[in-house]
Amino acid sequence: MDARTDIALTTDLGIEAPPDLAPDAMSACRPFPAQPAHNEALGFPGALVEDWQDQAIAKMGELLENSRPLRVFLDSCVKCGACADKCHYFHGTGDPKNMPVARQDLLRSVYRYYFTPLGRLLGRWAGARPLDADVLEEWFTYFHQCSQCRRCSVFCPYGIDTAEISMAAREIMNSVGLGQKYCNEIIGKVHKVGNNLGLPPAALENTLEGLEEDVRDDTGVDVKFPLDVKGAEVLLITPSADFFAEPHVDGLIGYAKVFHQAGLSWTLSSYASEAGNFAMFIGSYEQMHKIANRIRKAALDLGVKRLVFGECGHAWRVAYSFLNTLAGPWDFLDPRYPVPQNIAAITHDLIQRGGIRLDKDANAGMTVTLHDSCNVARASCLGDRPGDQFTIPREIIAASVPAFVDMHPDTIGDKTFCCGGGGGLLTDELIDLRVKGCKPRANALKQVVDDHKVTHMVAMCAICKSQFTKVLPQFGYPMEMIVSLHQLVSRSIRLATNA
Amino acid sequence: MSILNFVVSSFVVLSFIAFVVGIAWRVWLYASTPAPLRVFTAPAPATRAGAAVRVGREVALFESLFRADKFLWLVSMLFHVGLLLVLLRHLRYFITPPPLPVALMQPLGIIGSFAMVAGLVGLIARRLFDPRVRYISRATDMAVLLLLLAIAVSGLAMTFIAPPDIMAVKQYLAGLWRFDPQPLPADPALIIHLVLAAALMAVLPYSKLLHVAGVFFSSTRNQPDDARRERHVAAWARPLDQHRS
Ligand code: HEM
Ligand code: SF4
Ligand code: SF4
């Protein structure tokens, strides 16, 4: 393994000791602001408005009235510091403003100043400060160094969720014309074309035909990748990265084989060809609603009976936790199935019932570990019972490979560390942050590689997969080490030749 | 009525009003602000009853804090349990005759006050010496701890060094309660203790001490995982649904 270890890894058990404080270490790391066209396409002002201070405070007031979590979280923090060493970006950078409580305080200080009597009275003694240009710049910097992974929330005695606060901050910034290029450009593409990549229907059709050929060449079996098929049983909504990127596409091939083998008719939609909903990252309910309702329209137009999502963490959070509220009710779908379902739950169920058979020998030589995606682990569930998000993928892996090993318990389950690229940060200009934020995960991975000869790590989120394949080589691990959950299924599933 | 009595009594009464009005206002705000989406931290219980139990465990056991930081959990428990015992012990100054459980737990209250002081010392030390906690601390964070410590120490001083005339104290407090002024016992330790405790009440609803209410309203903990079963459309979000196909 070529070891380009410009970042030292620990071999100790568990998580490294938290770093020493390195004030302002990351103060120059920020994403590109959005161009006027990107902002205006979403109904935001093109550039910073003249009276942005007043408008930002007014927006904050509106958000406070609309959101109980925001109000309660801004009021309740006791500065106990229990969350301080729980963020992967703090671990990787040592910048104190990457401690969750300090990140919250960037917004809370302004809240205290304008919305609480004690903050107004005591000013900075009470941690209150007026909103000025420096504060705005600090917001833009450090609220884009939060992947909204919610690890901090798990450990906070009041469950204060920094993700909610950074979403609110981004929404306020958007409302005064300071958007982030990466997210806003992508959201615009979804409104226009239907997916994050801006992939038009014809290109999508081509790609799917290509995949059918590949699978036929590979297995001799005629596995279909249907698009816009009216009356199909299942509408599959999957991240658009599944159509192109590695190892995502191997996962998509896995879903197709599962549907094929289970005899389930299914289809993709060219209108709703994206599972991801980046509007969550910018905290915009309205944008999120608009994107989510493309899925509703596709389901109605195609007359499907079930809604199934492919592998993706943040997409699954919006799907599992928000979709019913945003785009329901789903009374026109088959009431016997939850809406939506995750492909992993379907595969798991088929394995249990003997509906598909997996052959571990096909994955001989693999020792696999699992990266729990934050949004699956901490913000949703995969099956019907709380905790299914941990057992389902592990049982699928155990059924398809000879050896499975978990990473350190403080880095999996609901304590899982973010890959470092979530929350709208998966953009090249933030690569420094992304590498540093991956360090806790890379440490835990190194431990199982060294001690248990782990050869592959499974990811079940499009962002995790893209982030790891790009960043893990910096830690000396090849990109091929990252595999999709359904890639393992794809390799091990026994396909019956269809008559 | 002496000027001192007037000043102290007014301060205590006004503080109490600030406390009640402030808490009621915040609780009303929290209760009336919609939670537009399900944002529980998973795995979350599937039912409302399950979610209530989860909140109960956070309140009674500080479960999340235990997972986060064992030392902090210990000093925090010492402080809070101590405070609870001390508050229960104080009931005898307000209810005559004290109910049997209150009478029986008096010695426990004394142990509680020592636990409270020990906890506070631990919390203050953390705030001074842990670099991360020091970074996030402001003057008010330390002030609250010192205020609580001063209340506890002045209370212990009365218990062990200069016991006040309990009957006179009860009479004075009962007078405040009924707006029927009674003489203020001329006991410096008592007056200090009373004024500081009143100040604590006055700031509670307007400061981070509001976590007392916040812990019950935290959406990440009190929401059941019913997202695929129920819709949770907030009133302000309803118009959006009219614009869809
Ligand atoms: C429902 C009741 C309450 C619960 C569940 C609760 C819970 C907690 C928890 C979990 C912490 C964080 C750990 C720590 O820093 O100690 C905390 C901090 C604190 N609590 Fe409470 N608390 C309650 C009531 C009170 C009351 C009535 C007071 C005093 C008037 C109080 C004063 C404090 C203070 C001063 C801190 C901050 C300690 C520090 O500076 O480090 N709490 N509380
Ligand atoms: S949500 Fe995740 S990235 Fe954001 S502050 Fe918390 S731990 Fe850090
Ligand atoms: S754990 Fe919660 S209460 Fe404690 S400092 Fe962090 S956000 Fe504040």
A contacts of B37 (beta carbons < 8 Å): 285, 321-322, 325
Q: Do B208 and A76 touch (CB under 8 A)?
A: yes
Residue B39 touches partner A, C-beta closer than 8 Å: yes
List A residues 35-64 in contact with B (Cβ-Cβ < 8 A).
64
What number is the ipTM of this complex? 0.96
Q: Is B178 helix (H, G, I), strand (E, B) or coil?
A: coil
pLDDT greater than 80 at residue A238: yes
Q: Do B65 and A80 touch (CB under 8 A)?
A: yes
Class for the domain spanning A36-185: mainly alpha
For residue B209, what is the DSSP state?
G
Q: Do A105 and B136 touch (CB under 8 A)?
A: yes
Q: Do A340 and B141 touch (CB under 8 A)?
A: no
User: Binning pLDDT at 50, 70 and 90, where does residue A4 land?
Assistant: very low
pLDDT greater than 60 at residue B154: yes
Q: Do B58 and A158 touch (CB under 8 A)?
A: yes
Mean pLDDT to the nearest integer, A24-52 = 98
Percent of chain B with pLDDT over 90: 89
Residue A321 touches partner B, C-beta closer than 8 Å: yes
Range with the lowest mean pLDDT among A8-22, B126-140, B154-168? A8-22
B contacts of A286 (beta carbons < 8 Å): 240
Predicted confidence (pLDDT) per residue in B88-123, tens digit: 999 998 888 889 999 999 999 999 999 999 999 999
- The span from the CA of A320 to the CA of A342, in Å, is 9
Q: Closest to A158 (Cβ–Cβ): which among B69, B214, B234?
A: B214
- pLDDT on residue A14: 55
| Nearest C-alpha in B relative to A81 | B133
CB A475 within 8 A of CB A388: no
Percent of chain A with pLDDT over 70: 96
pLDDT greater than 60 at residue A8: no
Percent of chain A with pLDDT over 90: 95
| Å between B204 CA and nearest CA of chain A | 11
Predicted confidence (pLDDT) per residue in B230-245, tens digit: 999 999 999 999 877 6
- pLDDT on residue B138: 95
Using a 10 angstrom Cβ sphere, with 0-12 exposed, 13-18 middle and 19 or more buried, the burial of residue B30 is buried
Q: What is the mean pLDDT of chain A?
A: 95
Q: Is B113 helix (H, G, I), strand (E, B) or coil?
A: helix
Predicted confidence (pLDDT) per residue in A460-490, tens digit: 999 999 999 999 999 999 999 999 999 999 9
- Residue A231 alpha carbon to ligand 2 centre in Å: 42
Residue B242 touches partner A, C-beta closer than 8 Å: no
Q: Do A325 and B38 touch (CB under 8 A)?
A: yes
Using a 10 angstrom Cβ sphere, with 0-12 exposed, 13-18 middle and 19 or more buried, the burial of residue A313 is buried
- The structure's pTM equals 0.96
- pLDDT on residue B179: 86
Domain borders along chain A are: 36-185, 193-405+454-492
B contacts of A325 (beta carbons < 8 Å): 36-38, 227, 231-233
Predicted confidence (pLDDT) per residue in A247-287, tens digit: 999 999 999 999 999 999 999 999 999 999 999 999 999 99
- Give the Cβ contact number of residue A387 at 10 Å: 15
- pLDDT on residue A497: 58
Q: What is the mean pLDDT of chain B?
A: 95
pLDDT greater than 60 at residue A12: no
Residue B215 touches partner A, C-beta closer than 8 Å: yes
Residue A86 touches partner B, C-beta closer than 8 Å: yes
| Nearest C-alpha in B relative to A158 | B215
List B residues 135-154 in contact with A (Cβ-Cβ < 8 A).
135-141
CB A435 within 8 A of CB A211: no
- The span from the CA of A120 to the CA of A192, in Å, is 45
Could you tell me if the CB of A101 is within 6 A of ligand 3? yes
List B residues 154-213 in contact with A (Cβ-Cβ < 8 A).
203, 206-211
- Residue A147 alpha carbon to ligand 2 centre in Å: 6
Q: Smallest Cα–Cα separation from A191: which of A284, A266, A329, A255?
A: A284
Could you tell me if the CB of A83 is within 6 A of ligand 3? yes
Q: Closest to A325 (Cβ–Cβ): which among B37, B139, B236?
A: B37
Predicted confidence (pLDDT) per residue in A138-153, tens digit: 999 999 999 999 999 9
- The span from the CA of A456 to the CA of A479, in Å, is 10
Predicted confidence (pLDDT) per residue in A352-398, tens digit: 999 999 999 999 999 999 999 999 999 999 999 999 999 999 999 99
CA atoms A107, A109, A113, A116: torsion sign: positive
Mean pLDDT to the nearest integer, B203-217 = 97
User: Binning pLDDT at 50, 70 and 90, where does residue A429 land?
Assistant: very high
B contacts of A160 (beta carbons < 8 Å): 218, 220
Q: Do B68 and A102 touch (CB under 8 A)?
A: no
B contacts of A105 (beta carbons < 8 Å): 136
Predicted confidence (pLDDT) per residue in A311-355, tens digit: 999 999 999 999 999 999 999 999 999 999 999 999 999 999 999
Q: Closest to B240 (Cβ–Cβ): which among A84, A289, A320?
A: A289
Hey, what domains does chain B have and what are their CATH numbers? 41-226 (1.20.950.20)
